[in-house]
Amino acid sequence: MERYSKNCVDFINDSNIEELIKNSREDKVKIRDILAKSMAKEPLSAEECASLIASTDEGLVEEIKDTARQLKKEVYGNRIVIFAPLYIGNHCINDCEYCAFRKSLRTTVRKTLTTDELVAEVKTLENVGHKRLILVFGEHPDYSPKFIADTVRKVYSIKTGHGEIRRVNINAAPMSIEGFKTVKDSGIGTYQIFQETYHHKTYRSMHPENTCKGDYLYRLDGLSRAFEAGCDDMGIGALFGLYDWRFEALSIVKHSLYLQERYGVGPHTISFPRIRPAHGVNLDSKNFVSDKDFIKLIAILRLSVPYTGLILTARESAKIRNEALGFGVSQIDAGSCIELGGYSKGKEEKTGNKEQFSLSDSRPMDQIIKELIHDGYLPSFCTSCYRVGRTGKVFMEYAIPGFIEKFCTPNALLTLKEYLLDYASEETKKDGLALIDRELHKITDLRKQKIISDKLHLIEEDKRDQLL
């Protein structure tokens, strides 16, 4: 069995990235040229991203943020995709310094959901309206590719009322090419692997060499093996706070460019979680990313990788999440619980030693949907791209020039209508139906408007899952 992909290469050069950070200077003329390139939907180079990072003038930073806001609107419209994380098991053979699931932390409660518990969790999520999940697994022999694939198939099989999970994404350890093939055959959407930190020295200090995760290159090469296994929908990211956020941002851009150049497909999503307090974790906070820099980071990632979905999770507070939506975020989780078996327990008191980290945004699903609608966003439960073949190179053909929004908005309207009729409170339903009506009448192509209108009426007739 091959351990690495063909022509495996470490494309992260620490000294080169540090030099970019050190030598980049604020240049208004250059910055405006870079912003114009972003608005043309062209991915930025690491050098151009470094120029944006080097900008500190308040007026210029506002220009960067305003351009990110405009770009996000052109590529994704006002749509915000909704999902939920579901932790399947927290047994782990790694010993990552920042993680409450590390093997040496004996006070963490270890658990893998039983089949009955999995069914209860999924039904609970379906009963509040979720259609898209990301399943999270520790790195452990118990969570083999076959186990992951069987879990995915089981999740798809669980139905309750109008509830069904239409797309399962995966956050799990990198695996062999054969392993990725096994998981792909179960019908997954995105396979997400975070490098955690791209800085080699920091990576070594956080991940003991005698653990699976201690191999930097094996992890960096993970998505290359996934591509060679036939997967074509990937998510990348870093855990911000382990090292200098500027280094991690530039590395994410380099990773995106590497995947696009080698496979013709960049990352479908990019995540940028900040370190949160966690049971049994005590890290030096010298690299903590301030709120001000965090918002700047989001804007820069939006400009640097225009086609990608940017994910901001409930690690962040409602205040930060609401602010960040304006600068490029396109996906958020809602009503999240990261305790094993926590969704079906309802409001049972949590102990903290069953979670990987603490969440900041505890708003329930309906409240988040209501607030998004109030703020002019279009909540979307859409999974159509995955199911009609708009993934990989096909997705890139639509996403890079900014055409994907033409599919996304209609499908967002259809899936929001489902949510409003099946799960929403009366107030959210009223506001949401008004939003759908407004958005429908913004569509200038009358033929397309009629097609969408007809499908919206079919949903009222109890005919769900209308795809475009």
Q: How do the pLDDT tens digits run along the chain, 468 residues long?
A: 568 888 899 999 999 999 999 999 999 999 999 999 999 999 999 999 999 999 999 999 999 999 999 999 988 889 999 999 999 999 999 999 999 899 998 888 899 999 999 999 999 999 999 999 999 999 999 999 999 999 999 999 999 999 999 999 999 999 999 999 999 999 999 999 999 999 999 999 999 998 999 999 999 999 999 999 999 999 999 999 999 999 999 999 999 999 999 999 999 999 999 998 888 888 877 899 999 999 999 999 999 999 999 999 999 999 999 999 999 999 999 999 999 999 998 755 555 567 777 789 999 999 999 999 999 999 999 876 666 666 666 666 666 666 556 668 899 999 999 999 999 999 999 999 999 999 999 998 899 999 999 999 999 999 998 877
Confirm whether 326 is domain-assigned: yes
Confirm whether 60 is domain-assigned: no
Same domain, 439 and 312: no
Same domain, 180 and 299: yes
Same domain, 422 and 344: no
pTM: 0.94
Confirm whether 453 is domain-assigned: yes
Same domain, 334 and 367: yes
What CATH number has the domain bearing residue 380? 3.20.20.70
Same domain, 119 and 248: yes
Same domain, 263 and 411: no
Confirm whether 350 is domain-assigned: yes
Last residue of a domain, one of 358, 388, 418: 388
Query: How many angstroms separate the CA atoms of 286 and 243, rounded?
Result: 8
Domain region containing 421: 405-460
Same domain, 240 and 156: yes
Same domain, 258 and 321: yes
Same domain, 202 and 317: yes
Tokens 């820099």 belong to: 293
Last residue of a domain, one of 388, 418, 436: 388
Last residue of a domain, one of 357, 388, 419: 388
Confirm whether 116 is domain-assigned: yes
Same domain, 413 and 378: no
Confirm whether 49 is domain-assigned: no
Same domain, 419 and 449: yes
Q: What is the total count of domains within the chain?
A: 2
Confirm whether 93 is domain-assigned: yes
pLDDT at 371: 98
Same domain, 425 and 292: no
Tokens 């179960």 belong to: 186
Query: How many angstroms separate the CA atoms of 441 and 439, rounded?
Result: 5
